[in-house]
Amino acid sequence: MTTAPPRLAARRTIVLDRPLRLECGAELPDVRVAYETWGTPAPDLSNAVLVLHALTGDSHVAGDAGPGFPTAGWWDGLVGPGRVLDTDRWFVVAPNVLGGCRGTTGPASPAPDGRPWGSRFPRLTIRDQVAAETAFANTLGVGRWAAVVGGSMGGMRALEWAVTHPHRVGALFLVACGAAASAEQIAWCATQTHAVRGDPGWHGGDYHHLPPDAGPWRGLGLARRIAHITYRSEAELQARFGRDRQPDDAPPGRYAVESYLDHHAAKLTARFDAGSYVVLTEAMNSHDVGRGRGGVADALARITAPTTVAAVSSDRLYPPAQQRALAATIPTAGPLRWVDSPYGHDGFLIELDQVAPLVAETLAVTRARAA
86: left (phi over 0), alpha (psi -120 to 50) or beta: beta
Give how far Cα 337 sits from Cα of 158, 266, 356, Å.
17, 34, 12
Task: Name the strand (E) or helix (H) holding 324.
Answer: helix 320-329
What's at 323, amino acid-wise? Answer: Q
Selection from 282, 59, 288 nearest residue 160 by Cα: 288
User: How many whole angstroms separate alpha carbon 232 and alpha carbon 353?
Assistant: 19
Selection from 81, 124, 72, 131 nearest residue 100 by Cα: 124
Phi, psi torsion values for 89, nearest 5 degrees: -120, -45
Task: Name the strand (E) or helix (H) holding 161.
Answer: helix 153-164
Q: What is the 3-state secondary structure (H, E, C) of 34-65?
A: EEEEECCCCCCCCCEEEEECCCCCCCCCCCCC
Phi, psi torsion values for 25, nearest 5 degrees: 100, -15
What's at 151, amino acid-wise? Answer: G
What residues contact residue 369 under an 8 Å CB cut-off, 6+ apart? 170, 171, 306
The length of the chain in residues reads 371
User: How many whole angstroms separate alpha carbon 252 and alpha carbon 206?
Assistant: 36
User: How many whole angstroms separate alpha carbon 115 and alpha carbon 202?
Assistant: 17
Q: What is the three-class DSSP state of 147?
A: strand
Q: What is the 3-state secondary structure (H, E, C) of 67-128?
A: CCECCCCCCHHHECCCCCECCCCCEEEEECCCCCCCCCCCCCCECCCCCECHHHCCCCCHHH
Do residues 259 and 246 make contact, with C-beta atoms less than 8 angstroms apart?
Answer: yes
Q: Which residues are catalytic?
A: 152, 315, 345
